[in-house]
């Protein structure tokens, strides 16, 4: 279903859709970035309608930013990397979407992040953002480590760090753990006077809420708070182990990416830290690279 | 708004509404149980409409069971104990419900459980069901320990045990924890072939789902599985501590109640185990006791 009109050079749209936000970039054939956009959550696990709305919204914003007409959306060749679509049922659901683009090449957020980090080349990435996991792609074969989701997994991620903080603050306020600097930081941040109000403030909150509480742990750790140090060390230990696991695949390069990458790096084991290389491109550019690779393969 | 018709002796309705189910009992003025009913979740935190529907459904079932006409619902004096209403916002929401009963006396599920366990007398309870917490009521003053909710708290509860199991099975299947007997029990139970299918099966599941996985831990622990033993000991340690905390209030009696009570008792510290007394009545009877106390106070 190629909707692309023949008289126009196509633009590429790169989408990086995660549990907290969706980022879009529009790039011309030469690779020049024309515009970017950002919108809400785009993990279809948390809602199909929300995911497709976020993708379209961010694309429209990027068109606006690029000073291109909205109608141009039907000429975009889209590379779309989404969280959640590693689950086959969600991949199939999204693949059947009657999208407004000329073409859509769908893959996981992990794949585009890896393509971005290594500028289209083979390699591995460890992601520590709202969630966490490891991913490598070498000679066409893929390895995923972790990606267990919230609240049952994603150790070392923002949501995991925030959940541990909430957990231990509640126990501490009840006197089952020692007093922690996290207690007051968190109560203040969430505008709560006591444990009961904190219970109410955190009830039924999504992973993104807990990820926003991760800063509490880092702030308290800076002042050597033992509970906060314990949480960070536990999380960083897991991230170190995930990295080591990926290194067994002997990737040409490995990068730590995601919102917590810079904060976590110092806490990783030295051998792991030394193995890491800064990412070359953003995940949304990785999505463009993916679309270009797929278009090329089609020819 | 007394809807009770003057020419009829009232019946009492006792409601115990929790996160997994709602139990109803109808009792006559002499205290004789006429009928019982059971329906779905009734914690308003998980949905107001669902909560009120579950309450009404279970009440209608109890009327049916008692061979009383459904219209009799408007003559019932209802004692309603609900999970979630310890949060003031939810208490107020439920208190404003235009209920179909003659009168409704609303309180927490903890309060009615305690009234039931000690047949209307002062005392303390430790609940280990889908969630966990401690509660005491002595000379009109109340103490709540825990009740932090899922997934951030409720240690030692079914949901907590199940979540720990899922967490560790996923890490074990990824090779980050030793192999556990829980791995195969859980994969089989959830009809999954591997970690990826397990990730999909547990994604976005509520506390009640995780509570149903708690049996995996007990089953593996029976065969001395180290990971399962570790989880149970950690949970039981917390329940022991909650009990000890309540004993500081010197309650006339203390009971461990809830779906996991019988399974957890053996794992509690001996001093704690010896302090426990079996509950006298069910929580829904405690709700009737509450309604009777309130009616009496009104006279």
3-state secondary structure of A10: coil
Residue A10 pLDDT? 82
B271 Cβ under 8 Å from any chain A Cβ: no
User: Which residues does chain A have within 8 Å of residue B200's beta carbon, measured at their own beta carbons?
Assistant: 87-89
Give tens-digit pLDDT for A127-163: 999 899 999 999 999 999 998 999 999 999 999 999 9
Query: In angstroms, what separates the C-alpha of B83 from chain A's closest C-alpha?
Result: 13
Residue A8 pLDDT? 60
Give tens-digit pLDDT for A54-91: 999 999 999 999 999 999 999 999 999 998 898 888 99
CA A58-A63-A66 angle, 5° bins: 125
A142 Cβ under 8 Å from any chain B Cβ: no
Question: Best interface-test mutation with A: which of B174, B197, B242 has the largest number of A CBs within 10 A?
Answer: B174
Helical pair B181-189 and B158-173, crossing angle rounded to 10 deg:
110
Distances (CA, A) of A283 to A17, A26, A192, A239, B221: 10, 13, 37, 20, 44
User: Which residues does chain B have within 8 Å of residue A204's beta carbon, measured at their own beta carbons?
Assistant: 45-46
Give tens-digit pLDDT for A210-269: 999 999 999 999 999 999 999 999 999 999 999 999 999 999 999 999 999 999 999 999
Distance CA B55, CA B111 (A): 17
Helical pair B158-173 and B195-202, crossing angle rounded to 10 deg:
150
Residues 231-250 of A with CB under 8 A from B: 238, 241, 245
Residues 61-90 of B with CB under 8 A from A: 86-89
Among A175, A200, A204, the residue with its CB nearest the CB of B89 is: A200
pTM (predicted TM-score) = 0.88
Is the pLDDT at B40 greater than 90? The verdict is yes
Residue A184 pLDDT? 97
Scored b (16 or more CB within 10 A) or e, A235-263 reads bbebbbbbbebbbebebebbbbbbbbbeb
Interface contact B200-A46, CB threshold 8 A: no
Is the pLDDT at B111 greater than 70? The verdict is yes
For every residue of B20-85, which 3-state class applies, written as one string?
A: CCEEEEEECCCCCEEEEEEECCCCHHHCHHHHHHHHHHHHHHHHHHCCCCHHHHHHEEEEEEECCC
Residues 88-117 of A with CB under 8 A from B: 88-89
Residue A172 CB contacts under 8 Å (≥ 6 apart), including other chains: A178, A179, A180, A182, A183, A227
Residue B46 pLDDT? 83
Q: Which residue of B has its CA nearest to A87?
A: B200
């Amino acid at each position: 279903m190629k909707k692309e009109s023949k008289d126009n050079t196509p633009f590429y749209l790169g989408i990086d859709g995660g549990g907290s936000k969706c980022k879009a970039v529009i790039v011309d054939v030469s690779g020049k970035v024309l515009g970017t956009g950002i919108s809400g959550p785009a993990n279809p696990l948390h809602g199909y309608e929300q995911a497709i709305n976020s993708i379209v919204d961010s694309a429209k914003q990027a068109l606006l930013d690029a000073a291109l007409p909205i109608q141009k959306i039907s000429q975009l060749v889209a590379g779309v990397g989404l969280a959640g679509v590693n689950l086959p049922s969600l991949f199939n659901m999204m693949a059947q979407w009657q999208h407004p683009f000329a073409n859509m090449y769908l893959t996981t957020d992990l794949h585009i992040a890896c393509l971005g980090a290594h500028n289209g080349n083979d390699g591995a990435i460890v992601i520590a953002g709202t969630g966490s996991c490891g991913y490598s792609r070498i000679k066409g074969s893929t390895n995923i480590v972790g990606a267990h989701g919230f609240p049952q997994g994603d150790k070392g991620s923002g949501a995991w760090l925030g959940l541990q903080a909430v957990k231990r603050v509640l126990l501490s306020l009840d006197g089952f753990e020692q007093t922690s600097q996290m207690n007051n930081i968190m109560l203040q941040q969430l505008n709560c006077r006591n444990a009961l109000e904190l219970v109410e403030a955190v009830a039924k909150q999504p992973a993104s809420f807990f990820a926003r509480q991760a800063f509490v742990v880092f702030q308290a750790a800076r002042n050597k708070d033992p509970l906060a140090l314990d949480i960070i060390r536990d999380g960083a230990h897991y991230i170190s182990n995930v990295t080591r696991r990926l290194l067994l695949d002997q990737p040409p390069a490995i990068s730590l990416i995601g919102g917590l990458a810079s904060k976590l790096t110092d806490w990783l084991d030295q051998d792991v830290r030394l193995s890491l290389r800064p990412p070359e491109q953003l995940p949304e550019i990785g999505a463009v690279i993916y679309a270009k690779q797929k278009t090329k393969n089609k020819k």
